[in-house]
Structure 1
C-alpha cells in the first residue's frame, strides 16, 4: 500500500486493476476493493480512470465509494478500529463504548489520530450480535467488549 504515488502512477496502476477485473459481472465493487487494497484508499485521481474504463460517470463511481462505509477517500492510520453501531451493540452499551473511544483517541468518526496510529470508523454490524458490543481492530473481531477491553485494544494500536 503506497499512498505516495504521483497521479500518473495512480492512473497506470488503476488501469491495470480495472483491466484485471473488468471481465467480472458487476466489476465496480471488486475494482474498488482492489484499489483500496493497493493504495489504502480510493483516491480522487482513480475515480475518473475507473469511470472512463467502465463507461460510467464520475458521479456514479463517487456515489458507490461514498455509499459503502468500507471505502475511504483518504489514507487510514496504521491501525483501523471499527466499532459496531447496530442495535444489538447499542443496547449492550455500544454508545458509551463509542464515546470512550472518541475521548481516548481524541478524534471523531472517520478521523485519524495526530500520530497516524489509529483511524476510528463506525460499522453497522459485525455479525456478533449475540456477543455485543463488538469491535474490530485491523480485521480481527472482538465480542463482549468492555471498557477495559477497549482500553487494551487502543493501547495495542498505539504501540
Structure 2
C-alpha cells in the first residue's frame, strides 16, 4: 500500500542533503524522494538543480527518461502488468484489456477513486508463468481475468479488515 507523505520542501531538502555525497547521487535522491512522497513533485526540480549544480533541464531529462519516476501521486495500490514477449505469447494483451475495462483506467493511469495505479513493465522475471502481474510488490503468475478480479477484491478487502 502506498501510504506516502504529503510534499514537504524541508523534508525533501533533507533527503537531497543526506544523499548528495553519493556517487551519481541524482538517481538515488530521486528514488528516495519518490519513496517518501510517492512521486517527484515539480517543486523538487529546482531544489535538485540548485543543490547538485545541474540545470533544471538536466534534472527534468533524467526524471522523464526513466519510466519508474512518477510526476503525480500513485493510487493506494500499484498494479504492474508484464508486457514482455513471453507474457505477450501467454495472452497479456487480452488480460490488459480486461484490466483496463474492469478498473476503468488505461495504462499509466490511476482510478478515479485513487485505489489503483496501472503500469506496464517489460519483464517481471516470471516468464514461465505468464501472463504475470505484480500488485503492491507481490508477484502473481498465470493471471487470468477471473484471477485478476479475485486479486483486486482481496486487495480492496485488505484495506478494511473486518
Common fold by TM > 0.5: yes
Task: Give me the CA root mean square deviation.
Answer: 1.2
Distance across 2 between alignment mates of 1:52 and 1:91: 47
Shift of 1:128: 1.1
Shift of 1:20: 1.1
What's the counterpart of residue 2 of structure 1?
A: 5
What's the counterpart of residue 144 of structure 2?
A: 146
What's the counterpart of residue 43 of structure 2?
A: 45
What's the counterpart of residue 116 of structure 1?
A: 114
Classify the secondary structure of the residue corresponding to 1:49. Answer: helix
1:128 aligns with 2:126: yes
Question: Relative to structure 2, which stretch is displaced further, 78-87 or 140-149?
Answer: 140-149
Distance across 1 between alignment mates of 2:35 and 2:61: 19
Distance across 2 between alignment mates of 1:21 and 1:130: 39
Structure 2: stretches of 5+ with no match in the other structure: 158-162
Distance across 1 between alignment mates of 2:116 and 2:36: 19
Classify the secondary structure of the residue corresponding to 2:50. Answer: helix
Classify the secondary structure of the residue corresponding to 1:69. Answer: coil
Out of 22, 32, 47, the residue aligned to residue 34 of structure 1 is 32
For 1:67-102, what per-residue CA distance to the aligned partner results, in whole angstroms no more than 9, with x for missing partners? 222210001111011101111111110100111100
Classify the secondary structure of the residue corresponding to 2:5. Answer: coil
1:81 aligns with 2:79: yes
Distance across 1 between alignment mates of 2:59 and 2:155: 32
Distance across 1 between alignment mates of 2:155 and 2:118: 11
Structure 1: stretches of 5+ with no match in the other structure: none
TM-score w.r.t. the length of structure 2 is 0.90
TM-score w.r.t. the length of structure 1 is 0.91
Out of 52, 55, 75, the residue aligned to residue 54 of structure 1 is 52
Count of aligned residue pairs for this structure pair: 154
